[in-house]
């Protein structure tokens, strides 16, 4: 089956053609320059940029895959969670194509797309060896979820953030450190050559709900530290130490809780996906501590938002006989637990 996947939930306009788990094309048009001056994504600017780029991005995805639209078996599109304006752009295009060509339309949960990203591969690459069941740590700019995925479409929520998402904690920390958006790669770059043990930032273990996350205390500690040690008077090495220590606190919590969840449910596999999944220090910590647990991670370019992951989730939904009707609408807030209602 060949599926076109469309993703416009945040600040990436993306379309991809995926056949089984093979990525034939994956076009991603980012908007970094557009939002740079604001230190974060401005929803209205994002929507307008999606409108500008979506047709060319879809056309490029089909062209690069050497695939005519008529040859598609279905069109998958992110319908939520995400920014309403962006979601509407993607859905409008997907619906228009599906109706015009009488193709199945499949509305996809953005985080289910991330969850499927480690299963993707290029045509010349070997099978990545991913399989259900697994514990999934899904860490993006909008979500921090710890799930037990028994099979596709059946997800047990083990924990989630009570305040900021992990990516948001990177983004807000970066802003305080005077670093550009997105904050994750900025902090990771400054942290290189820094000492992660220089400053002992607090870790919120939340003993009662030990698979939940909270990053607000960590953020406040950084703010307090910067009040006492202003950035302007902090030498370059101390700035690197600061970034490394902040990053360490974040990834230590993520890695510790994800591995504890694997032990709790007896899972031999841990899948890590979403933008923060690209963090090298997180990957290293997990590798060091995972022992007999197999780590399932996507290649770096597939960690952040892309159409290929949406296409693959759509392909699996379609295989289960699930498709959306023409009344499909966006769902800017869509709890992942609700996906279980549709599982076969």
Tell me the closest approach of the beta carbon of residue 150 to Zn ion, in angstroms: 23
185 part of the interface to ligand KG4, by CB under 6 A: yes
Count of residues binding ligand KG4 (CB under 6 A)? 19
Tell me the closest approach of the beta carbon of residue 114 to Zn ion, in angstroms: 6
Quick one: 140 or 267, whose CB is closer to Zn ion? Answer: 140
Quick one: 185 or 332, whose CB is closer to ligand KG4? Answer: 185
Q: Give the residue among 150, 161, 250 at the shortest CA–CA distance from 211.
A: 161
Tell me the closest approach of the beta carbon of residue 111 to Zn ion, in angstroms: 7
Q: What angle do CA 197, 198, 201 make, to 5 degrees?
A: 75
Region from 17-25, 86-94, 182-190, 253-261 binding ligand KG4, contact rule CB under 6 A: 182-190
248 part of the interface to ligand KG4, by CB under 6 A: no
For 58, phi then psi, to 5°, come to -65, -45
Quick one: 74 or 274, whose CB is closer to ligand KG4? Answer: 274
Tell me the closest approach of the beta carbon of residue 95 to ligand KG4, in angstroms: 22
Q: How far is the CA of 150 from the CAs of 124, 133, 154, 298, 301, in angstroms? A: 29, 4, 6, 19, 26
10 part of the interface to ligand KG4, by CB under 6 A: yes
140 part of the interface to Zn ion, by CB under 5 A: yes
Region from 11-19, 32-40, 136-144, 150-158 binding Zn ion, contact rule CB under 5 A: 136-144
**Which one of 86, 305, 316, 317 is in contact with Zn ion (CB under 5 A)?**
305
Q: Tell me the C-alpha distance between 74 and 25, whole Å.
A: 15
Binding mask 134-173 for ligand KG4 (x = CB under 6 A): ------xxx------------------------x--xx--
Binding mask 50-89 for ligand KG4 (x = CB under 6 A): ----------------------------------------
279 part of the interface to ligand KG4, by CB under 6 A: yes
Choose the contact partner of 182 out of ligand KG4, Zn ion, none; CB within 5 to 8 A by kind. ligand KG4
**Chain contacts with ligand KG4 (rule: CB under 6 A):** 10, 140-142, 167, 170-171, 182-185, 188, 274-276, 278-279, 304-305
């Amino acid at each position: 089956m060949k599926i076109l996947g469309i993703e416009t939930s945040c600040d990436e306009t993306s379309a991809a053609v995926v056949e089984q788990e093979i990525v034939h094309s994956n076009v991603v048009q980012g908007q970094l320059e557009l939002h740079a001056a604001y230190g974060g994504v401005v929803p209205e600017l994002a929507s307008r940029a999606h409108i500008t780029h979506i047709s060319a991005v879809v056309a490029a995805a089909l062209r690069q895959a050497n695939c005519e639209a008529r040859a598609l078996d279905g069109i998958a599109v992110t319908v939520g969670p995400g920014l309403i304006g962006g979601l509407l752009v993607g859905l409008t295009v997907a619906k228009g194509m599906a109706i015009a060509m009488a193709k199945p339309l499949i509305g996809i949960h953005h985080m289910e797309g991330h969850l499927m990203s480690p299963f993707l591969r290029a045509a010349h690459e070997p099978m990545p060896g991913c399989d259900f069941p697994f514990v999934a740590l899904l860490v993006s700019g909008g979500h921090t979820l710890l799930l037990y995925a028994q099979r596709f479409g059946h997800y047990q929520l083990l924990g989630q953030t009570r305040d900021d998402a992990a990516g948001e904690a990177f983004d807000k920390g970066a802003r305080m450190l005077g670093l550009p958006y997105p904050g994750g790669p900025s902090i990771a770059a400054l942290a290189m050559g820094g000492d992660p043990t220089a400053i002992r930032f607090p870790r919120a273990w939340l003993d009662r709900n030990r698979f939940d996350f909270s990053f607000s205390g960590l953020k406040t500690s950084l703010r307090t530290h910067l009040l006492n040690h202003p950035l302007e008077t902090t030498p370059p090495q101390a700035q690197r130490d600061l970034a490394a220590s902040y990053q360490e606190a974040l990834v230590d919590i993520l890695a510790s809780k994800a591995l504890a969840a694997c032990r709790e449910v007896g899972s031999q596999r841990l899948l890590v996906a979403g933008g923060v999944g690209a963090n090298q220090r997180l990957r290293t910590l997990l590798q060091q501590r995972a022992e007999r647990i197999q780590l399932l991670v996507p290649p770096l370019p597939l960690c952040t938002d892309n159409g290929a992951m949406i296409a693959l989730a759509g392909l699996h939904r379609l295989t289960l006989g699930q498709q959306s009707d023409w009344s499909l609408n966006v769902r800017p807030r869509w709890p992942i637990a609700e996906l279980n209602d549709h599982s076969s």
